[in-house]
Amino acid sequence: MLTEYSLPSILTAALSALLGILTLLHLRRLWSQIRRSMLQHYAPGPPLKSWLAGNHADVPEYKAWYAYTEWGKKYGDVMHIRIYGRHYLILNSVVAATDLLEKRARIYSDRPPSLMLDIKGWLFATGFKPYSDSWRRHRRLLQQAFKLDSLVAYRPIQTRKVNDMLYGILTAPEEFTSFYKSVSAAIVMSVMYDYDLAPQNDRYVGHAEAAMAALSDPAFSSLVDIIPGFWYLPAWFPGGSFRREAAKIRVETDAMLEAAEHFAEGHDSPCLMTDLMKYCKSQEGYDILREAAATGYVAGADTTSSALGTFFYAMATHPHVQKKAQEEIDLVVGSDRLPHWDDRPSMPYVEAVFREVLRWRAITPFGIPHCTTDDDVYRGYYIPKGTIVVPNIWGMTRDEQTYKNPEVFDPERFLTEDGQLNNDNVGYTFGFGRRICVGRHLASSTFWYAMANVLATFDITKKKDAMGNDLPLEVEYSFALVSHPLPFDCSVKIRSQHTAQTILNNRRAAAEMP
């Protein structure tokens, strides 16, 4: 008979006991790993603060890429840290990342297991799937859809959607942010589903942004992933708040997937989805196609918009760069039309601006972590199976041996003395090896085309005060997997009435097309 103790208190005590047992078992396994670790020669890194937690206290809660870049100056481009029982290898140079993630891709292409990604509903995404047959089938579908040779077929869609963006900025320049945030997603959605997003504030883009924003700082696991006992905590138990937060995120993730499901069903209009469905011979094949398509939807809604946000910020704060890029466009393109892809090879300075935007504020500062599937040795350093390998993209963009004064926005760093492009195309910002971003060609061409057309049509400047002086503009960035500039304000004005008429003529011509 329950007289002295209530049922909740009994449950709490039982859960506490279970958690204690699981924790002790984990500590026993952890101690065994630590004893073995003492016999190995790992890459250099900060000294362990605790035999149990390792370097956990050293890891900043937010924007850890700054810390690891600074550590790299002391410990080198290959660093090792341990957080509880997990080993991490931080790669701060393109050379080290290429040596391991590309040249040894066979054992460096897995993803670290994550219970948190599971309860947030994110394991559908191609980029988070383990190195498996399911991932390979996802990858083949997306590679077929977004290979370089396929881009020509998508250019009419890109042209139309970028024209929509230009028209939106022309008619409501103070709302430029909402227009550049929608253009990339609009292109992907049209290519994949023949669906026209609203030019701004589309609810499906909102779902994708909310779901992606939840993927903050993915390079290091939560305690739920590291200590198995935490997984069993209910939401109401002390320490179980992660379940409540994950449930909120799951709502947005599920809404995003439901949107993708809705787009995939019930229509037979010509688009990538209907083309690929012809090859689905089973429910499993359809599920893989649906998940792969949803991956393309969310990636398209989030990544290119980050680069466009940085572009607007950079132009507002570097008017001399903007002017030089516009002069090149005016010389090559003239005033009777807007830039096209065929103009790209003839505009090296605009290309240098494109590269510098990707370097200056990397879209994914930490990339997405890899995981080793076997023991390895690199430069004499032991790398155990299961090591989480983090390509610190931010650190690579701050390599002072490659980029002098790396904090300065300077497109000239990508040009030779005679004004031609050098060999650094900053391709590493899209990842490495078998896990490189499969949509990079579409994302890159969309960003370049949107950027070149904005430069051709608008002047971007800082806002001014009542006295006509420039207002300060210093933009902070988010710490999510995809790092975005936080909301900022600047002035966006059409360069001339002739240019405005060109935008209107292009829009009219697009509307008259069948």
The owner of tokens 């881009």 is 151
Comparing C-alpha atoms, which of 486, 453, 490 is closest to residue 470?
Answer: 490
Q: Which helix (H) or strand (E) holds 370?
A: strand 370-371
- For the chain, counts of helices (H) and of strands (E): 18, 8
Which residues are CB-neighbours of 373 under 8 A, at least 6 positions away?
Answer: 107, 109, 110, 131, 385
DSSP string, 232-299: G--TTSTTTHHHHHHHHHHHHHHHHHHHHHHHHSS---SSHHHHHHTT--SHHHHHHHHHHHHHHHHH
- What one-character DSSP code corresponds to residue 84? T
Determine whether the annotation assigns residue 437 to a binding site: yes
Structural tokens at position 507: 């829009």
CA distances from 166 to 99, 329, 494, 497 (A): 42, 16, 10, 14
Coil vs helix vs strand at 435: helix
Distance CA 415, CA 351 (A): 10
Q: Is 50 helix (H, G, I), strand (E, B) or coil?
A: strand
Binding-site residues, in ranges, read 437
Binding-site residues for heme, in ranges, read 437
